[in-house]
Structure 1
């Protein structure tokens, strides 16, 4: 079979930069640059037959879009608001959570509509700053639009339940 130099050619999202000679495999490889910026060796025949069209970025983006409906993930990381929401759900509903005894264990619950992140973010809005966390106005009531606000740690310290005194 005659060698065909693919250098400089474009195959879908791949641009062929140079030939790559693998030390043990006797197939023609080419170093290719994907439109997303990823560079990797690709077999020549998979390029010419259309079997490799990109580095996988298209599939990753498609999967991300399919499973993200709220727009609060970027680059595989969740937003601060989303992290606050999941922590709230966990501490109220998971008996294995570290602080469950202070929340779900004493009857603090999340209102049913807030199990949908989209409803939660519509009600609460974005945090004013990254330092804000969710705070319950009445510490003996659950998480709901009427009882929650974004607050700083300082504001939250002023809104804590009284500590029990431990007698020696």
Structure 2
């Protein structure tokens, strides 16, 4: 027997009565916060693996439309990060959802909240939206707006990098090699006696690239 949803709340919707009992799924009379009533099926209210649940009678989407049109890039970003984390058919799902990367509930359920956070935390069309720690979720404490250069240097370290520094690896006994890669090109920076010297060379190369745009 299907669960009784009367009295439950889904977003702006309150389920006030069973509209029709059906073997393929009941339908429910819902009162929206805006005052309008709407009939929705169980699947539309609770959602599924491939379907986002309804949160309002449609008034929420209409009120969001102006913001979506004003900030289409942020809306596209919001939809994209949700898709990559929750859609198994997405090409890059293996690098996000399949690895346990999620989107915090407040952002996943509301473009408005996502939008307001970004507008208050460095949103700029010349910058990139990025996670600070690539192993953690999309959430306020783990996201920021950075330059393309900073985003590149913040990429996950290669799994075989044991030095703790991007672009630095051990070489033989007590030696460290430093290098920098940009746009498919790699520049060897030298062989150093200490990891600190190698990391310093790498840092200086990053600063030079950021300033001049060449390796």
TM-score (norm 2): 0.41
1:162 to 157, 160, 166: 157
- Partners in 2 of 1:164 and 1:79 — Cα distance? 36
**Could you say what secondary structure the match of 2:141 adopts?**
coil
Superposed CA RMSD in Å reads 2.7
- Partners in 1 of 2:61 and 2:76 — Cα distance? 20
2:138 to 131, 140, 143: 143
2:129 to 127, 130, 134: 134
Q: Per-residue displacement from partner, 1:72-122 (whole Å, max 9, x unpaired)?
A: 333xx8611111111111111111112111111101100000021011112
2:124 touches 2:145 (CA, 8 Å); kept in 1? no
- Partners in 1 of 2:92 and 2:150 — Cα distance? 20
Larger relative helix fraction: 2
Unaligned runs of at least 5 residues, structure 1 = 1-62
1:70 touches 1:117 (CA, 8 Å); kept in 2? no
Alignment of 1:34-45 (within 5 A): none
Q: Per-residue displacement from partner, 1:22-70 (whole Å, max 9, x unpaired)?
A: xxxxxxxxxxxxxxxxxxxxxxxxxxxxxxxxxxxxxxxxx9x963425
Q: Which has the larger radius of gyration?
A: 1
Shift in alpha-carbon separation, 1:102–1:117, aligned structure 2, 3 A? same
1:131 touches 1:152 (CA, 8 Å); kept in 2? yes
Match in the other structure for 2:9? none
Q: Per-residue displacement from partner, 1:130-168 (whole Å, max 9, x unpaired)?
A: 232321111110000111112222111111112356xxx
1:92 touches 1:105 (CA, 8 Å); kept in 2? yes
Match in the other structure for 1:114? 107
* Higher RCO (CA-CA < 8 Å; seq separation 6+): 1
- Partners in 1 of 2:61 and 2:89 — Cα distance? 30
TM-score (norm 1): 0.52
